Chain A
Amino acid sequence: MSSNTPLSEGSEWTFELIETYDREIARIAGSYGLDTYPNQIEIIRSDQMMDAYASVGMPVGYHHWSFGKQFLNVERGYKRGQMGLAYEIVINSNPCIAYLMEENSMTMQALVIAHACYGHNSFFKNNYLFKSWTDADSIIDYFVFARNYIAQCEERHGTEEVEAILDSCHALMFYGTDRYKRPYPISAAEELARQEERAEYLQRQINDLWRTIPKSKAGKMGRTEHRFPAEPQENLLYFIEKNAPLLEPWQREIVRIVRKIAQYFYPQRQTQVMNEGWATFWHYTILNDMFDQGLVTDGFMMEFLHSHSSVVAQPGFDSPYFNGINPYALGFAMMRDIRRVCENPTEEDKRWFPEIAGSDWLSTLHFAMENFKDESFIQQYLSPTVIRDFHLFCILDEEESETIDVSAIHDEDGYRQVREALAAQYNLSSREPDIQVYEVDVEGDRSLTLHHQQQSQKPLAENTEEVLKHLYRLWKFEVHLYSYDGEEVDVSYRVPKRKGLSLAP
């Protein structure tokens, strides 16, 4: 331990202290090679934190009732004390915006700075999903553009009109990304400049598609050959934006805005464990280093460890506090474990991870952070040690079976299965039903047909019809959805409902 004097003694923070801590944290983060965007640290009140919560991560959001609902929800939770306002919200932007609440003690501010401004920040800048799906430089401008555009639409077309379109787009928000095609990064300036031109161009294209005058029945014979779209489309919002026959240009633009914003959030939904794990690992490492260098007091450490350990707590499945696997806990444990495997591998580790056991932990950890998402990260790095520490076990809940079967536990025979099942649990495409646009009846009634491929015979939720109503609102012609179990149609939906007709395809 060095003989440095602590940066501060009491729990009060000041702007000078925040600067000092930030400088020290940045220094240590730099020594570990954390590559970050510049930070914009904003001190806010707790009610502003609630606002930030309610706008689900958009520092500049358009107006919509659902954010109001979100706000009331947060407010209620906060007032009842069910929820401490989390210490951090951080925006994937350049500069990277992080909020600190004024009520926090100096220790908590330091924790948040280390966690958000250096942990999350470096994750945003270097993880491949964020790199390829989001453009941190222009996102704030895009939010501003979106907000202004939607406000203009409200003025021109009425709040209710706009709200209805937004409702429908939100219902399909998770179906607004191409999972396999890489997108073009969003650029706000271009977006604005090209927007009018695009509206016109789009409308022309759509007119081309729909110009076909309905032909006689003979023409229908050849339909399968000219199926439109030629390939099934997974990006429903994109498909609607480009092809919905009756949308006004401004409505298309709104569909596009929701789609672009969904795309911006898409990486976050797939990297929860990694992102939180990474940030937690670094606040833990950095603050411990500060302690070792004599920069913080014992009291500081006690307070820090207290909140750190409640963040990474993992209640068991039978605990009343159980609420799924805690991404902070799992992520932190795995990040630490990778370091352990590199530095002090056991025989078991050498068998499981021959390529990383004994390697340089820092570059291995950076590599893991940069090149994976939750699903693949778990598949690649979840070690028997962590499985044992968490007492993970896998159950199979099959429809036909009377009982729930324990298929694997944390033992030699079970590690691989547990790991695979847990990875699958984080696979977005198994969490969300696989629904794609199959066909549009271009020459006939213009109806839209979707196919759902069931995974493990999981049916669609009860409110599927409600979602289809939203789709119908955008498409404006009949919408069909066939839910396939293998090759067989299991259930079919049609909106709007036709009276007294069977719905066989």
Chain B
Amino acid sequence: MSYIIDRRLNSKDKSAVNRQRFLRRYKKHIKRAVSDAVSKRSITDMERGENISIPEKDLDEPVFGHGEGGNRARVLPGNKEFRAGDKLQRPEGGAGGGAGKGDASDSGEGMDEFVFQITQDEFLEFMFEDLELPNLVKRQLNATESFQLVRAGISEEGTPNQLNVVRSMRSAYARRIALGAKKKRRRDEILAELEEQMDDENHRKALREELELLQKKLSHIPWIDDFDLKYNITRREPQPCSKAVMFCLMDVSGSMDQRTKDIAKRFFILLYLFLQRNYEKTEVVFIRHHSTAKEVDEEEFFYSRETGGTVVSSALRLMDEIITERYPITEWNLYGAQASDGDNWTNDSPVCHKLLANKLLPLLQYYCYIEITDRGHQELWQYYEKLAESTPEAFAMRGIEDYADIYPVFRELFQREKPRVSQ
């Protein structure tokens, strides 16, 4: 007797929970591996999974077992030339003693790393864990798109398009039963009596009359009545919505060599992935500048090349213009991130300082500046330092020297903390 069952349509990932448990338990290891991978990977390469390896001894599940030593007798197959009484040299490293002993020696076979794959999603999850945009506040409710229709129950009044058919029919049915049941019962009684009582003609006549009356009354019960109708009612509920825009500013002037640009791009890619992942309503504006600034799309921002002098303030001005034009501060949370090698046109740095301090920072939630250089800091850095002192809640700056710094600096800038008081 056999039952054959098709289980192929059962849900996938029965092991998902156990897998998550495992990942959680070894979070520390995985985080380290992810952070290593981030600094090693090329910029186009962030969106895939990663091989994680954990030392086997760290995930050992110990059980009582025998150790090396003692006297053992073992039976092996495949004898070719041995005779009883032969004495053999011990093989190096105890391999002969270990192999084939089943569970006890699995660890002895050079598999000292446990390697497994995490998916791209998990990779990014670990990469951006504990990070968030600082100072995000709910701005003005936007009248046009932030309403949602929610159900608010059933009503007796409404428009035909809101008719709730099921409820209406149910109530009509109930009404018909309530009004007709007694009459129907009487009708059935009369019918039964007419069947039996054959002789008493008078009585039969009376019954027939009553029956007729009943039939008439019954037919007058309407199948559906006005007060049966039920309508769905809905209510427009305002949705609090927070929108954020991130301005990415990058120096692409001649002084930025390929490596510096590469580092800057990586930083922005991280930022971009982070935003994409965490905020559905986040817009990103890419501004690149040399001596003049230009708003570009994502593709151009990351991948095209340009040279020229450096005027940082041009980018800040453009940013200011875009804000005025498209992102009213009443509706948007504004963020800025800037990457540069620190070079700037002489006399432009004070302008930048003024622009930021007077115009931009009052509008912005947060502005971060990363300087990618292994040389000394220049004028721009010094002016920016003043900003960091005067408005530490809205301005942060860090120096990056090498690829390896990118991820730590990124984490530092966007570390989740207690909400700061915004200005």
> Which residues of A line the B interface, CB within 8 A?
15, 18-19, 22, 26, 38-45, 47-48, 50-51, 54-55, 63-73, 75-76, 79, 95, 102, 117, 159, 163, 167, 170-175, 314-319, 322-325, 390-399, 402-411, 413-414, 418, 421-422, 424-425, 431-433, 435, 454-464, 466-467, 470
A460, B65: Cβ atoms under 8 Å? yes
Name 9 interchain pairs, CB-CB below 8 A, sorted by A: A102-B8, A403-B87, A403-B88, A406-B86, A411-B84, A435-B64, A459-B70, A464-B62, A467-B64
Which residue on B lies nearest to A485, using beta carbons?
B70
Which residue on B lies nearest to A47, using beta carbons?
B12
Which residue on B lies nearest to A330, using beta carbons?
B77
New A-B contacts (4) at CB < 8 Å, excluding given A43-B8, A175-B64, A409-B79: A26-B2, A73-B116, A163-B25, A459-B66
* 0/1 interface trace, chain B 353-378, chain A, CB 8 Å (1 if under): 00000000000000000000000000
Per the bound structure, the CA–CA distance linking A95 and B3 in Å amounts to 9
* 0/1 interface trace, chain B 84-105, chain A, CB 8 Å (1 if under): 1111111000001101111010
How many whole Å from B191's CB to the nearest CB in chain A? Answer: 55
How many whole Å from A442's CB to the nearest CB in chain B? Answer: 25
Contacting residue for A467 out of B13, B21, B63, B74, CB 8 A: B63
List, in ascending order, chain B residues with CB within 8 A of A405's CB: 85-88
Contacting residue for B116 out of A15, A39, A65, A75, CB 8 A: A75
Per the bound structure, the CA–CA distance linking A390 and B101 in Å amounts to 18
List, in ascending order, chain B residues with CB within 8 A of A38's CB: 1-3
Of A70, A170, A324, A399, chain B has the most CB atoms within 10 Å of the CB of: A324
List, in ascending order, chain A residues with CB within 8 A of B74's CB: 394-395, 397, 421, 425
A50, B15: Cβ atoms under 8 Å? yes
List, in ascending order, chain B residues with CB within 8 A of A26's CB: 2
Per the bound structure, the CA–CA distance linking A41 and B116 in Å amounts to 32
How many whole Å from B52's CB to the nearest CB in chain A? Answer: 9
List, in ascending order, chain B residues with CB within 8 A of A408's CB: 84
Also in contact, A422 and B5, with CB within 8 A (given A403-B90, A463-B60):
no
A-B contact count (CB 8 A): 263
How many whole Å from B15's CB to the nearest CB in chain A? Answer: 4
Is B159 an interface residue, CB under 8 A from the partner? no
Per the bound structure, the CA–CA distance linking A197 and B79 in Å amounts to 60
List, in ascending order, chain B residues with CB within 8 A of A47's CB: 12-13
Is B23 an interface residue, CB under 8 A from the partner? yes
Is B19 an interface residue, CB under 8 A from the partner? yes
Which residue on A lies nearest to B96, using beta carbons?
A404
A456, B72: Cβ atoms under 8 Å? yes
Q: How many B residues have CB within 8 A of the partner chain?
A: 64
List, in ascending order, chain B residues with CB within 8 A of A73's CB: 114, 116
List, in ascending order, chain B residues with CB within 8 A of A22's CB: 2, 4
A319, B21: Cβ atoms under 8 Å? no
A456, B78: Cβ atoms under 8 Å? no
Per the bound structure, the CA–CA distance linking A462 and B104 in Å amounts to 12
A71, B63: Cβ atoms under 8 Å? no
Is B20 an interface residue, CB under 8 A from the partner? yes
Contacting residue for A64 out of B21, B80, B102, CB 8 A: B21
Is B14 an interface residue, CB under 8 A from the partner? yes
Per the bound structure, the CA–CA distance linking A15 and B102 in Å amounts to 38
Is B303 an interface residue, CB under 8 A from the partner? no
B61, A171: Cβ atoms under 8 Å? yes
List, in ascending order, chain A residues with CB within 8 A of B15's CB: 50-51, 54-55, 67-68, 71
* 0/1 interface trace, chain B 108-145, chain A, CB 8 Å (1 if under): 00000011110000000000000000000000000000
Per the bound structure, the CA–CA distance linking A414 and B73 in Å amounts to 14
How many whole Å from B281's CB to the nearest CB in chain A? Answer: 33
Per the bound structure, the CA–CA distance linking A410 and B76 in Å amounts to 11
A459, B69: Cβ atoms under 8 Å? yes
B3, A461: Cβ atoms under 8 Å? no
A406, B88: Cβ atoms under 8 Å? yes
List, in ascending order, chain A residues with CB within 8 A of B116's CB: 72-73, 75-76
Per the bound structure, the CA–CA distance linking A404 and B82 in Å amounts to 12
Is B202 an interface residue, CB under 8 A from the partner? no
List, in ascending order, chain A residues with CB within 8 A of B5's CB: 40-43
Q: Which 10 A-B pairs have the closest CB atoms?
A: A316-B78, A324-B100, A68-B22, A458-B70, A68-B18, A317-B76, A72-B116, A466-B62, A403-B87, A39-B2
Is B59 an interface residue, CB under 8 A from the partner? yes
Per the bound structure, the CA–CA distance linking A170 and B59 in Å amounts to 13
Also in contact, A395 and B76, with CB within 8 A (given A67-B15, A167-B61, A322-B100):
yes
List, in ascending order, chain A residues with CB within 8 A of B6's CB: 15, 42-43
List, in ascending order, chain B residues with CB within 8 A of A48's CB: 7-8, 10, 14
List, in ascending order, chain B residues with CB within 8 A of A461's CB: 64-67, 104
How many whole Å from A433's CB to the nearest CB in chain B? Answer: 5
Also in contact, A51 and B78, with CB within 8 A (given A64-B21, A405-B85):
no
Per the bound structure, the CA–CA distance linking A73 and B22 in Å amounts to 12
Also in contact, A39 and B1, with CB within 8 A (given A391-B78, A432-B65):
yes
B22, A69: Cβ atoms under 8 Å? yes
Within B1-42, which residues are at the interface with A (CB < 8 Å)? 1-8, 10, 12-15, 17-25
B60, A466: Cβ atoms under 8 Å? yes
Per the bound structure, the CA–CA distance linking A180 and B3 in Å amounts to 37
Is B71 an interface residue, CB under 8 A from the partner? yes
A393, B88: Cβ atoms under 8 Å? no
A65, B82: Cβ atoms under 8 Å? no
How many whole Å from B86's CB to the nearest CB in chain A? Answer: 4
Per the bound structure, the CA–CA distance linking A484 and B246 in Å amounts to 70
B23, A409: Cβ atoms under 8 Å? no
Of B18, B86, B96, chain A has the most CB atoms within 10 Å of the CB of: B18
B84, A68: Cβ atoms under 8 Å? no
B67, A68: Cβ atoms under 8 Å? no
Per the bound structure, the CA–CA distance linking A461 and B57 in Å amounts to 14
Which residue on B lies nearest to A118, using beta carbons?
B2
Contacting residue for B22 out of A42, A65, A390, CB 8 A: A65
A398, B82: Cβ atoms under 8 Å? no
List, in ascending order, chain A residues with CB within 8 A of B8's CB: 43-45, 48, 102
Contacting residue for A67 out of B18, B59, B117, CB 8 A: B18
Is B83 an interface residue, CB under 8 A from the partner? yes
* 0/1 interface trace, chain B 188-203, chain A, CB 8 Å (1 if under): 0000000000000000
Is B166 an interface residue, CB under 8 A from the partner? no
List, in ascending order, chain A residues with CB within 8 A of B83's CB: 406, 409
Also in contact, A399 and B71, with CB within 8 A (given A68-B22, A75-B116, A163-B21):
yes
B3, A39: Cβ atoms under 8 Å? yes
Is B75 an interface residue, CB under 8 A from the partner? yes
List, in ascending order, chain A residues with CB within 8 A of B25's CB: 65, 163
A458, B75: Cβ atoms under 8 Å? no
Per the bound structure, the CA–CA distance linking A297 and B343 in Å amounts to 81
